[in-house]
Amino acid sequence: MRVRSPTGMPSVADLVDEETVRRLAGPEAHARGTTLADEGHVRIGEFGPLLVSASVDDERPHDVELRAAGATLTYTCTCDEAAGGAFCAHCAATAIVTRRRSPNRA
């Protein structure tokens, strides 16, 4: 069952399914993101249907935002890799935790 945001648009949780996160991150960033998520390095700040913000501790804290913009996932992170537009391990970790915390998702 897909849970829609109050506006009827897909939520961040709708947009961070396993396949999408793997595709955006690539194998290395996805593996690192999974480790960060599993080891509890993701601290969620805001957890809403259209915005999820987090701090991911990976040697130093990195601030991540995942947003649902219509049917598109947008993302930012303060790490160097994301500065070039990459969906980094920190974004992947935040997406994984978002999916795990969302109702009707695993």
For the chain, the domains span 12-101
pLDDT at residue 86 is higher than 90: yes
pTM across the whole model? 0.90
Torsion of CA 99, 68, 32, 23, to 10 degrees: 100
Give the mean model confidence (pLDDT) for residues 16-40.
97
Extract the tokens encoding 4. 């829609």
Give the mean model confidence (pLDDT) for residues 65-84.
95
Phi first, then psi, for residue 63 (nearest 5°) are -90, 130
Confidence of residue 105 (pLDDT cuts 50, 70, 90): low
Return mean pLDDT, the chain.
91
Distance, CA of 80 to CA of 36 (rounded, Å)? 17
Extract the tokens encoding 47. 């957890």
